[in-house]
């Protein structure tokens, strides 16, 4: 009986994890669509995103293989959360 209970619990946890992952994937796709639309609007209005002068420093740290320092500096400059900063630095490298 204990084996069946553990199996049921494991399946419930697995289902929960898969459901959560699916929601994150949908949210990522929706966010990407919104970003593309915003890029089109900015292009249509001939607006440019201002680049922080220290972003070149972040890129240099990435080129030098100092990814952790680059993430730290990116967070300092932008106020981004750790995950967002890591993803941004990964795109640079």
The number of domains in the chain is 2
Confidence class for position 86, pLDDT limits 50, 70, 90: very high
Whole-number pLDDT of residue 93: 78
Whole-number pLDDT of residue 17: 74
Please tell me whether residues 7 and 44 are part of one structural domain: yes
Helices and strands (H, E) in the chain, number of each type? 4, 0
Please tell me whether residues 61 and 86 are part of one structural domain: yes
Per this entry, what is the length of the chain? 93
Alpha-carbon distance 90 to 76, whole Å? Answer: 17
Q: pLDDT digits over 13-70, tens only?
A: 877 777 777 777 787 788 888 888 888 898 899 888 777 888 999 999 999 999 999 9
pLDDT at 75 over 90: yes
First to last CA, the chain: 53
Whole-number pLDDT of residue 1: 54
Helix (H, G, I), strand (E, B) or coil at 36: helix
Q: Are 62 and 70 contacting, i.e. CB atoms less than 8 angstroms apart? A: yes
Please tell me whether residues 58 and 77 are part of one structural domain: yes
| Domain assignment of residue 69, given as a range | 50-93
């Amino acid at each position: 009986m204990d084996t069946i209970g553990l199996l049921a619990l494991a399946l419930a946890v697995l289902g929960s994890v898969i459901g959560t992952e699916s929601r994150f994937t949908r949210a990522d796709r929706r966010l990407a669509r919104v970003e593309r639309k915003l890029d089109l609007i900015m292009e249509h209005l001939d607006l440019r995103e201002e680049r922080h002068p220290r972003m070149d420093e972040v890129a240099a740290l990435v080129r030098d293989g100092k990814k952790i320092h680059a993430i730290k500096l990116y967070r300092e400059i932008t106020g981004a959360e750790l995950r967002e900063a890591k993803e941004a630095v990964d795109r640079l490298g």
